[in-house]
Amino acid sequence: MQQRVDGTRIGELQGVVSAALAEARRLGATQAEADASLQQGLTVSVRLGEVDTVEYQRDRGLGITVYVGQRKGSASTADLAPAAVAATVAKACTIARYTAEDPYAGLADSDALATDIPDLDLDHPWEIEPADAVELARRCEAAGRDVDARITNSEGASVSTHRGAHVYGNTHGFLAGYPSSSHSVSCALVAQAGADMQRDYWYAAARDPAALEDVETIGRLAGERAIARLGARRLGTRRAPVLFVAEIARGLFGHMVSAIRGASQYRRASFLLDAAGRQILPRFIRIHERPHIPQGLASSPFDAEGVATRDRELVGDGVLQGYVLGSYAARKLGLSTTGNAGGVHNLLVDSTRGALPFQALLARMGTGLVVTELMGQGVNGVTGDYSRGATGFWVEGGAYAFPVEEVTIAGNLRDMYLAIDALGDDTDLRGSIRTGSVLVGEMTIAGADATPA
């Protein structure tokens, strides 16, 4: 099978999946599901104007899961030749015969599967030659280095383009797939003033290369952000409002999604255990799932089990409406799948009282900390305890006073969510969760310097 990815590969992948399912049936599987994919990509990076790396990616694979009664077996291969596919299915069947029975195992219910596969405009190939990609990366880095003479070094600029095709099928008769693409440009620069050295970055990501910011803008933003961090100070320990910029705020809601996943709920390992129907956010906040946004980075017509994806209100008036479930977790909880096997699809966070421009958020905060970068993994998904290293800017009188480094922000996510005071209108579209900046009314800010600034 050729590796070049385009719409014609869908038919070939469907043939591979169909053959795998037929072989599973022949070997005695009572149910089976398979997914096959082809991926190709190019990533180039430059540093200080010189080519650093040129990487090609060409991958293919098949994963097969079989059920022999309530016993499950899985196997995978990177070889899509008929003999390799048959051997992989045989291994999965052998494994299934030795695993313990699980009363919740099995395919998603047939009536939940997608019957209409909308075109979500996810496939926009970027036919760029390596030399041209290198030139774009050079222009990006150069624009950043030209921002200020204090930009003394670079971690490099990169241009990446990927395209793939994916097909999923199961023995309920579901068989569908689609091609998709993703592209990105990034730049990370180092600013220095005397002994003070600071680093920052910026990036763009989109399905369609035409939707990317121009490379000079990305480079300039990276340079300006690095310069702005020069002269960073430590803070004394205190309690104060904290404003998470949009690209960081996404992670706050990501912790919420992890806590309401089915696995976290049925394992009884969540700080939002049994939270459906309870208020977990202020009443002015809503979270919508919109899986069918054209060109959305997390858009999909069906989930990893072939279940149809649908618009959904995950949080309404601050109240959690339900969990994030695939079919296995749903059965464990006595519920129905929500079409989220494999993850969420474009969560949109908004405010019923209106999102504010960033400057208005600063004015509302008055005095506090703007967080632009987080470090460490200090989040406990069971208790909700939150403690992360942070850098950013101290704000006084609604305006930046000075950059801040080497502080820790701490709280509990349950309290932090309810303490959200306002949302920004600067929505970041570069991920599966779309949110603007988030102002939290108060958190503990711990610094190495015990003397308040």
Residues 38 and 140 in one domain: yes
| 243 in the same domain as 357 | yes
Phi-psi map region of 398: left, alpha, beta (phi>0 left; psi -120 to 50 alpha): left
In total, how many domains does the chain have?
2
Q: What is the pLDDT of residues 248-271, one digit of tens each?
A: 999 999 999 999 999 999 999 999
Looking up residue 88, the CATH number of its domain turns out to be 3.30.2290.10
Residue in 351, 345, 410 with CA at minimum distance from that of residue 376? 410
Same domain, 217 and 249: no
d(CA 325, CA 340): 5
Rounded-to-integer distance, Cα 255 and Cα 313, Å: 18
Instruction: Name residue, tokens 């279940």.
Output: 307
Pair (261, 210) in one structural domain: no
Res 107: pLDDT: 98
Q: Given phi > 0 = left and psi -120 to 50 = alpha, else beta, which region is 274?
A: left
Asked if 245 and 440 count as a contact pair (C-beta separation under 8 A), the reply is no
CB 43 within 8 A of CB 163: no
pTM for the structure as a whole: 0.92
In a domain, 2, yes or no: no
Predicted local confidence at residue 7, as pLDDT? 53
Amino acid at 424: G
Same domain, 16 and 126: yes
Is residue 250 domain-shared with residue 184, that is, in the same domain? no
Residues 219 and 313 in one domain: no
Best CA proximity match to 376, nearest among 366, 385, 387, 368: 387
pLDDT at residue 9 in the model = 86
The 10 Å Cβ neighbour count of residue 104 is 13
452 assigned to some structural domain: no
Tokens of 250: 């996404």
Same domain, 220 and 74: yes
Element (H, E) at 12: helix 9-26
Residues 136 and 264 in one domain: no
Determine the pLDDT at residue 449. Answer: 53
Give yes or no for a contact between 123 and 39, defined as CB atoms under 8 angstroms apart. Answer: no
pLDDT for the residue 3: 39
Same domain, residue pair 161 and 99:
yes
Domain annotation covers residue 202: yes
* Nearest to 312, CA basis, from 291, 283, 330, 293: 291
Residue 92 lies in a domain: yes
Classify residue 80 as exposed, middle or buried by CB count within 10 Å of its CB (0-12, 13-18, 19+): buried
Give percent above pLDDT 90 in the chain: 96
**End of a domain among 228, 253, 268?**
228
Question: Locate tokens 């009443």: which residue?
Answer: 283
Selection from 350, 390, 366 nearest residue 244 by Cα: 390
Q: Check residue 286 and give left, alpha or beta (phi > 0: left; psi -120 to 50: alpha).
A: beta
Helix and strand totals (H; E) in the chain: 9, 17
Answer yes or no: are the C-beta atoms of 409 and 243 closer than 8 Å. Answer: no
User: Are 213 and 339 part of one and the same domain?
Assistant: no
User: Across the strands, what pairs with 243?
Assistant: 370, 439
Q: What is the pLDDT of residue 377?
A: 87
The range of the structural domain enclosing residue 342 comes to: 238-447
The pLDDT tens digits of the residues spanning 336-354 come to: 999 999 999 999 999 999 9
The residue among 184, 206, 228 that closes a domain is 228
- Among 201, 228, 255, the domain boundary falls at 228
The structure tokens 């989040």 sit at: 379
Residue 365 lies in a domain: yes
Say if 163 falls within a structural domain. yes
Q: Does one domain contain both 349 and 374?
A: yes
Q: How many CB atoms lie within 10 A of CB 166?
A: 19
Q: With CA atoms as reference, report the closest residue to 439 among 217, 249, 212, 186.
A: 249
Judge whether 233 lies within some domain.
no
Tell me which residues of the chain have a pLDDT lower than 50.
Answer: 1-4, 450-453
* Helix extents (H) in 402-446: 413-418
Roughly how many angstroms between the first and final C-alpha of the chain, as a whole number?
65
